[in-house]
Amino acid sequence: MSKRPNFIYMAGMIPVLFVVGLLLFLTFDNLLSGRAVYGAKFGNAFEVEGVAAILVNLGILGLIVWLGSYLAFLVKRSPKLMQFHRAAGVVSSVLIAVGLVYGLS
């Protein structure tokens, strides 16, 4: 019986890993082309270029690190991993916000 919850948990990770892989691919594609494209709720698309795009893309990569650190925390339950998780989230959010404000101004 104890193997079944582990199997269900691992099967639930497949969509998460797929989305993270897709996000990595799109972010690296945007990073290499020097842009960051994002969409709004009503189908509007916005694009920033240059330094702003680099900040936004680094912020997105930081959010992937943020997710990975949380998954590692779930396995290890280390307080240092939780601190790293929180710090990565703050830094990533700030990078994205600064990049968007700088790019749209």
Write down the residue that tokens 């990533």 correspond to: 92
Mean pLDDT of the 33-45 span: 81
Outline where DSSP puts E strands in 6-97. 35-39, 45-49
Indicate the pTM of the whole model: 0.78
**How far apart (Å, rounded) are the C-alpha atoms in residues 100 and 52?**
6
- Band (pLDDT 50/70/90 cuts) for residue 43 is confident
pLDDT of residue 2 exceeding 70, the answer is no
Mean pLDDT of the 8-13 span: 74
Cα Rg of the chain (Å, integer): 16
Tens digits of per-residue pLDDT, 75-99?
A: 888 999 999 999 999 999 999 999 9
